[in-house]
Chain A
Amino acid sequence: MSQETLNVRRMLCPLPVIRTQDKVKTLQSGDILTVECTDPGVMQDIPAWCRINGHTVLETRAENSEYVIVLQVV
Chain B
Amino acid sequence: MLATKAVMEQGIHVEGINFFTGFCVEGHTHAIRKRDSDKPKRNNSLWVAEQLGIKLHIIDIIEEYKQVLLNPKHGYGANMNPCLDCKIFMVNKAKQWMLENGFDFIITGEVIGQRPMSQRKQTMPIVAAESGADDLLVRPLCAKNLPATLPEREGWIDRNQLFDITGRSRKPQFALAKQFGFTDFAQPAGGCCFLTDESYSLKLVDLWKARGKRDYELDDVMLLKVGRHIRPKPHFKMIIAREDGESQFMSGYKKEYISMNCHSHRGPLVLIDGTADDDDLHLAAQILARYGQGREAEQVEVTLRDQQGNERNIVVKPLLENEIPKEWFV
Q: Is B107 an interface residue (CB 8 A)?
A: no
Contact yes or no, B43 A41, CB < 8 A: yes
Q: A18-B58, A53-B55 are in contact. Are A12 and B43 (CB under 8 A)?
A: no
* Residues of the A chain whose Cβ atoms lie less than 8 Å from the Cβ of B45: 14
Q: A15-B60, A41-B43 are in contact. Are A52 and B55 (CB under 8 A)?
A: yes
* Residues of the B chain whose Cβ atoms lie less than 8 Å from the Cβ of A48: 42-43, 46-47, 50
What is the 8 Å Cβ interface bit string for chain A, positions 38-49, against chain B (1 contact, 0 not)? 111101110011
Q: Is B241 an interface residue (CB 8 A)?
A: no
Contact yes or no, A65 B248, CB < 8 A: yes
Q: A15-B20, A48-B42 are in contact. Are A21 and B57 (CB under 8 A)?
A: yes
What is the 8 Å Cβ interface bit string for chain B, positions 1-42, against chain A (1 contact, 0 not)? 000000000000000001010001011101110000000011
Contact yes or no, A40 B41, CB < 8 A: yes
Contact yes or no, B27 A12, CB < 8 A: yes
Nearest CB to that of A40 among chain B residues? B31
In the assembled complex, the Cα of A40 lies from the Cα of B102 at a distance in Å of: 36
* B101 CB, min distance to chain A CBs, angstroms: 12
* Residues of the B chain whose Cβ atoms lie less than 8 Å from the Cβ of A10: 252
Q: Is A35 an interface residue (CB 8 A)?
A: no
Chain B interface size band reads 20 to 34
In the assembled complex, the Cα of A48 lies from the Cα of B16 at a distance in Å of: 14
Contact yes or no, A44 B57, CB < 8 A: no
* Residues of the B chain whose Cβ atoms lie less than 8 Å from the Cβ of A21: 57-58
Contact yes or no, A14 B252, CB < 8 A: no
Interface of B is mostly: mixed
Among the listed A15, A40, A45, A51, which residue makes an inter-chain contact with B42, where contact means beta carbons less than 8 Å apart? Answer: A45
Q: Is A13 an interface residue (CB 8 A)?
A: yes
Q: Is A70 an interface residue (CB 8 A)?
A: no
In the assembled complex, the Cα of A44 lies from the Cα of B45 at a distance in Å of: 12
Give the A-B pair count, Cβ closer than 8 A: 66
* Residues of the A chain whose Cβ atoms lie less than 8 Å from the Cβ of B57: 21
In the assembled complex, the Cα of A48 lies from the Cα of B52 at a distance in Å of: 13
Contact yes or no, A14 B43, CB < 8 A: yes
Among the listed B46, B54, B248, which residue makes an inter-chain contact with A49, where contact means beta carbons less than 8 Å apart? Answer: B46
* Residues of the A chain whose Cβ atoms lie less than 8 Å from the Cβ of B42: 44-45, 48
In residues 1-52 of chain A, which contact B (Cβ within 8 Å)?
10, 12-15, 17-18, 21, 38-41, 43-45, 48-49, 51-52
* Residues of the A chain whose Cβ atoms lie less than 8 Å from the Cβ of B20: 14-15, 18
* Residues of the B chain whose Cβ atoms lie less than 8 Å from the Cβ of A18: 20, 58-60
Among the listed A14, A43, A52, which residue makes an inter-chain contact with B27, where contact means beta carbons less than 8 Å apart? Answer: A14
Contact yes or no, B43 A39, CB < 8 A: no
Nearest CB to that of B32 among chain A residues? A12
In the assembled complex, the Cα of A13 lies from the Cα of B56 at a distance in Å of: 15
Nearest CB to that of A22 among chain B residues? B60
Contact yes or no, B58 A41, CB < 8 A: no
Q: Is B315 an interface residue (CB 8 A)?
A: no
Contact yes or no, A41 B30, CB < 8 A: yes
* Residues of the B chain whose Cβ atoms lie less than 8 Å from the Cβ of A52: 46, 49-50, 54-56
New A-B contacts (20) at CB < 8 Å, excluding given A14-B27, A17-B58, A18-B20: A10-B252, A14-B18, A14-B24, A14-B43, A15-B27, A18-B60, A40-B31, A40-B41, A41-B30, A41-B41, A45-B41, A45-B42, A45-B43, A45-B46, A49-B46, A51-B50, A52-B46, A52-B55, A52-B56, A53-B55
The interface of chain A, by Cβ under 8 A from chain B, is 10, 12-15, 17-18, 21, 38-41, 43-45, 48-49, 51-53, 65
